Structure 1
Amino acid sequence: MSHLHIPVELITNILSHLPVKPLVRFLCVSNQWYAVITNSDFIIMHLNRSIETNRERTLILKEDDIPPPLRYFSVKFPKDNRLGKAVEIYQPLYYWDLKDQRHKWDILDYCHGLVCLYKDDDEILIWNPLIRKYRKLPNEPIEESSGFSGNMYSSLAFGHDPHKNYYKVLRVMTDDVKFEVKVYSLRSQSWKKIEERWPKKSLDSWNAKSLNGAVHWLVGDRGVLDQESLLAFDLAGHREISALYNAISTKSLYSDRHLEVLGGYICVIEIYMFTNDVWLMKEYGVESSWTRIYKIEQGVVPWIFEYLKPLMFSKNGKKVLLEEDQDAHTNLIWYDIEKKRCKMVKNQSFPDSFIVATCIGSLLLLDGDNVIDPGLKKKKRKRKRNQSPLESIGSNG
């Protein structure tokens, strides 16, 4: 029986519906399949289907507040909202530098299955935990022409530029008077200084969030108390900086605010006296579209709490998954918006204290220059250790 020829278009379409793990295995099937799966157009097609279907929703847990070596875990997120068992995964830098102080690495942000990690604001990497590969960014010095005087501060952000389909890291350096803004592009693998003038605003929080091709901060007018607004930096080519709209409240009643992204919307959490008031901007850039989606007061949670970070909605949108740090222990909580009830997520496989990133199925960083696979490096080292002295000499000759 002759071998049937299957059109490449049909193979591509079938493969694009599959999860990440089998696709990585299928790289070995044939040269044709390898070419299809590593093609940039296929990777984008697969990602878009993951976004549309919320395919392979996964929590990445990074152990926190314990001595190294720290561990990373993946947790599957089934349709019924029951979190699966925490499975340890390769650490992105564990085999890169055995002397590295891994407890200093932290999660900056995450987008489309990529997780951005940083250490001391000058070491940054972008990691795809589902395929175990990462790219370490080159160190970027501060330019002497920036003219900083006194103490300097920095704010980092990670986001996606949908206009050019680039993934970028933004670094803002300031001494509260002057600013230096630089952007790293995953495509060009280089830093570029942005010459646009920064507005006369102070960053009320160094916590930046990316959405709709822009990075956002809560900022205030210098010398003016309780007058916050939302500042957006456009990651697209024209790099326009503008204050888009006023914050939802300017009352001094609220002691603190946090900026997040929830369900594809900009989200502001106002905190006062163990109360979390959570607002979404339902129509991007429209101030009147701010909508309060829930409010958690003391008593709903049977212990004293300060900040319950929203991570994601349930499949039907009626519940929200919350993260809380509590005395060297991290809690995950489901909050029912309609019934105003909280239910603790109990899972003995979770570490005691951790930081959460959320992922979907993505093949980004599957192939390309300067992409590192720590699992592959471990295998090479293991093979080298198992070699006899004569085999080692032969392999070098």
Structure 2
Amino acid sequence: MEMANSSATILGDRDDLILEILSWLPVKSIMRFRCVSTTWNSLIFNPDFVKLHLKRSSRNSQIILLEKKIEDRQCFSAVLHSLPCLIQNPTPSSAHSILLCPKPYKYLFGSCNGLFSLHFSLSTYECEEHLVCFFNPATKICSLPSPSLRLNYGIGVQYDINFGFGYHDLRNSYKVVAMVLDWSTQQTSVWVYCRGDVRWRHTIMTSPAFLTIDSNGYFLNDTVNWLGHSSKESKLQIFSYNLKNDTYGYLSVPEFVPTNSEFTSMGVLNGCLCVSFDQERTVFVVLALKDVGNERCWSRLVSVSYETLNISPYYDYLRSLCMWGDLLLLTYSQLWDDYDIIIIFNLKENKVQRTQTYCKHSSSRIFSCHYVPSLI
């Protein structure tokens, strides 16, 4: 009996050591090791180990650069960079890998804990149907399609739909949030799909409608957020949906942010919700909201002149991509060129560190998405 207990202890200690070593390895290596034995396979996909590996992988977050075609937003290509490599050489040729998403999904609208949320839609004369899935590019594992979110047509009925993707830690649930604008009723309804659900849940109906500026919702601290304004007034607001309790609220944006600029956008930088805009094409400004629950926490993260950035006022779609330490990556393109310019701006020294041409397909724009390889 004592010998049996001693053997179990040795085996347990050995498993702990194996898990400790594996938890520091990249996903690609771990996926090879799962073939060693059924025991190793069970250890690798143990939920506690998956969480431990994700926690350690998060220290080496990466960035995805997406090319979205202007004339058809449901087409994209994506390349994966580590942040240090992107800073040193922000070109497609320096990418760690090109991401290929499973068919028929054509639109990536979110990344969380190593999972992508992908979208596909079908339209007929009677309705349009929207399906999503969760895809892990590191493990190449794709979930089954979600149930269909069906929007029926009628006389004068027209819809706009925008998606967001996030994670609720306490419930260990991944949620897709769809904001559906019905132009005929001037109402916005919110639908939620949680991984494993058998249907979409209709959680909220708002009136007047909320018109989004940035199509994608941005996830931060249990909330998915869209920048836009009410259909009855032009004042900018943030529609914030809480994944924890399925409630929503509106966050005010500082009044000096222009409502008529086509280059106003939102994103997440250094753990803050950020709004970027230009002032009469002379100054580029980024505001940061540190606490999503407190709209009084806005601060000015960046305010830099076009002269400092060496940007002509005749550009197309200036926006921020990501931050790494004191370095902010911006992207813009000239109206007459088929390539983007990536600017690496040093906030601490208030100067451009370097610029780089980023070759892209014509009629497309560069976006970014944070990514952490995981076993989720």
**Distance change in 2, residues 1:302/1:223 (3 Å):** same
Question: CA–CA distance in 1 between the matches of 2:232 and 2:360?
Answer: 43
In the alignment, is the contact (CA less than 8 A) between 1:71 and 1:88 conserved in 2? Answer: no
1:182 matches 2:191: yes
Q: What is the CA distance between 1:37 and its match in structure 2?
A: 0.9
SS at 1:11 equivalent: helix
**Distance change in 2, residues 1:127/1:273 (3 Å):** farther
1:290 matches 2:298: yes
Aligned position for 2:57: 50
Which of the numbers 193, 205, 208 marks the counterpart of 1:200? Answer: 208
In the alignment, is the contact (CA less than 8 A) between 2:190 and 2:205 conserved in 1? Answer: no
In the alignment, is the contact (CA less than 8 A) between 1:301 and 1:342 conserved in 2? Answer: yes
Which of the numbers 17, 29, 54 marks the counterpart of 1:22? Answer: 29
Question: CA–CA distance in 2 between the matches of 1:181 and 1:332?
Answer: 35
Letter in 1 for 2:109: L
Q: What is the CA distance between 1:214 and its match in structure 2?
A: 1.2
Aligned position for 2:39: 32
Which of the numbers 321, 328, 332 marks the counterpart of 2:338? Answer: 328
Q: What is the CA distance between 1:81 and its match in structure 2?
A: 4.2
**CA deviation map 1:35-55 (0-9, x unaligned):** 11111221112112223x2x2
SS at 2:34 equivalent: helix
Q: What is the CA distance between 1:346 and its match in structure 2?
A: 4.2
In the alignment, is the contact (CA less than 8 A) between 1:152 and 1:173 conserved in 2? Answer: yes
1:224 matches 2:228: no
Aligned position for 1:379: none
User: 1:76-115 alignment to 2 at 5 Å?
Assistant: 76-78=82-84, 81-83=87-89, 85-89=94-98, 91-93=100-102, 96=103, 105-115=106-116
**Distance change in 2, residues 1:307/1:355 (3 Å):** closer
Q: TM-score, normalised by structure 1?
A: 0.74
Letter in 1 for 2:107: D
Residues 291-300 or 352-361, more deviating: 352-361
In the alignment, is the contact (CA less than 8 A) between 2:68 and 2:76 conserved in 1? Answer: yes
Aligned position for 1:135: 143
Aligned position for 1:356: 368
Question: CA–CA distance in 1 between the matches of 2:338 and 2:197?
Answer: 37
In the alignment, is the contact (CA less than 8 A) between 1:115 and 1:357 conserved in 2? Answer: no
Question: CA–CA distance in 1 between the matches of 2:150 and 2:57?
Answer: 38
Aligned position for 2:124: none
Question: CA–CA distance in 1 between the matches of 2:108 and 2:354?
Answer: 23
Q: What is the CA distance between 1:290 and its match in structure 2?
A: 0.6
**Distance change in 2, residues 1:58/1:165 (3 Å):** same
Question: CA–CA distance in 2 between the matches of 1:357 and 1:299?
Answer: 28
Which structure 2 residue ranges, 5 or more long, are not aligned? 1-6, 122-128
Question: CA–CA distance in 2 between the matches of 1:90 and 1:222?
Answer: 37
In the alignment, is the contact (CA less than 8 A) between 1:331 and 1:344 conserved in 2? Answer: no
In the alignment, is the contact (CA less than 8 A) between 1:319 and 1:336 conserved in 2? Answer: yes
In the alignment, is the contact (CA less than 8 A) between 1:107 and 1:115 conserved in 2? Answer: yes
Question: CA–CA distance in 2 between the matches of 1:259 and 1:70?
Answer: 20
Aligned position for 1:381: none
Task: Give the root-mean-square deviation of aligned CA atoms.
Answer: 3.4
1:301 matches 2:305: no
**Distance change in 2, residues 1:198/1:71 (3 Å):** closer
In the alignment, is the contact (CA less than 8 A) between 1:233 and 1:242 conserved in 2? Answer: yes
**Distance change in 2, residues 1:307/1:43 (3 Å):** same
Letter in 2 for 1:158: F
**Distance change in 2, residues 1:127/1:192 (3 Å):** same
Q: What is the CA distance between 1:363 and its match in structure 2?
A: 1.3
Question: CA–CA distance in 2 between the matches of 1:298 and 1:90?
Answer: 34
SS at 1:7 equivalent: helix
**Distance change in 2, residues 1:63/1:287 (3 Å):** closer
**Distance change in 2, residues 1:281/1:8 (3 Å):** same
Aligned position for 2:4: none
SS at 1:180 equivalent: strand
Letter in 2 for 1:309: R
Question: CA–CA distance in 1 between the matches of 2:161 and 2:86?
Answer: 41
Q: TM-score, normalised by structure 2?
A: 0.78
Question: CA–CA distance in 1 between the matches of 2:40 and 2:333?
Answer: 45
Letter in 2 for 1:362: S
